[in-house]
Chains A and B, each alone.
Chain A
Amino acid sequence: MSETALIDRRWIARDAERASTARFLLWLFPWVCLLLLGIYAAGLCFYYGLNQTNMDNRFAFGMWIFLDLSIIAMGAGAFFTGFLVYILKQTDLKPVLNTAVVVGLTCYSGAVAVLMVDVGQPLRAWFTFWYPNTHSMLTEVTFCISCYLLVLILEYIPVLVQNRQLRRVPSFLVFEHQAHKLVPVLAGVGAFLSFFHQGSLGGLYGVLRGRPFAYRQGFAIWPSTFFLFILSAIAVGPSFLMLVVAAAEKITGQTLVDFRVYRKLGFISGVLLAIYVAAKAIDTYVWLNVTSPRLGFGPWDYYSYWPFSSTFLFAATVPLGLLPAILFIVPRTARHRGLLLLAAALTCCGVLLNRFVMTVQTLALPTLPFDPFLKYIPSWQEVATFGGVLAYGVIVYSLSYRYLPMFEATKGEAKNVSLD
Chain B
Amino acid sequence: MFPWTDGFHWTPTHIIFLSLFGAALLAILSTAVWGLWNTLNAFRKHLAAATCWRQNFGELPATERRCRHELAGRVPSRLCDHAFDCRTCPNYEKLAALPANAPASLAGVSYSDDLLYHRGHTWVRSDWDGTFAVGLDPFAQHLVGSPDAVQLPEICEEVESEGVAWTMVKNGHKIRVRAPLAGTVISTGGPDRDFYLKILPHGQPNLRHLLKGPEVAGWLAAEVVRLQMQMSNGKTTLADGGTLMPDLMDNEPGADWDAVLESTFIDR
Contact = CB atoms under 8 A, between A and B. Distances in A.
- A and B touch in their complex, CB below 8 angstroms: yes
Contacts of B11: 134
B13 A135 contact: yes
Contacts of B18: 132, 134
A34 to B, nearest CB: 33
A171 B39 contact: yes
A179 B28 contact: no
Contacts of B259: 14
Interface in A130-156: 130-132, 134-135, 139-140, 143, 147, 150-151, 154
Question: What is the interface residue range for chain B against chain A?
Answer: 35 or more
Query: What secondary structure prevails in chain A residues at the interface with B?
Result: helix
A154 B32 contact: yes
A413 interface: no
A178 B36 CA distance: 8
Contacts of A143: 17, 21
B268 to A, nearest CB: 7
Contacts of B13: 134-135
Interface centre among B5, B51, B56, B176 (most CB of A within 10 A): B51
B55 A173 contact: yes
A246 to B, nearest CB: 28
Contact of B28 (A15, A140, A150): A150
A173 B31 contact: no
Interface in A151-181: 151, 154, 164, 167-168, 170-171, 173-179
A164 B59 CA distance: 11
Contacts of B56: 167, 173
Interface string B18-52: 10010011011001101110110011000011011
Interface in A269-304: none
Contact of A189 (B28, B52, B55, B258): B28
A24 interface: no
B94 interface: no
Given A150-B28, A193-B24, A129 B262 contact: no
Interface string A17-45: 00000000000000000000000000000
A174 B1 contact: no
Contact of A130 (B1, B25, B49, B262): B1
18 contacts: A14-B259, A14-B268, A132-B14, A132-B18, A134-B18, A135-B13, A139-B17, A140-B17, A143-B17, A151-B28, A164-B268, A168-B176, A170-B43, A173-B56, A174-B42, A178-B34, A178-B39, A179-B35
Given A130-B1, A176-B55, A178-B34, 10 more contacts: A132-B18, A135-B13, A140-B17, A147-B24, A154-B32, A170-B48, A171-B39, A175-B36, A186-B28, A189-B28
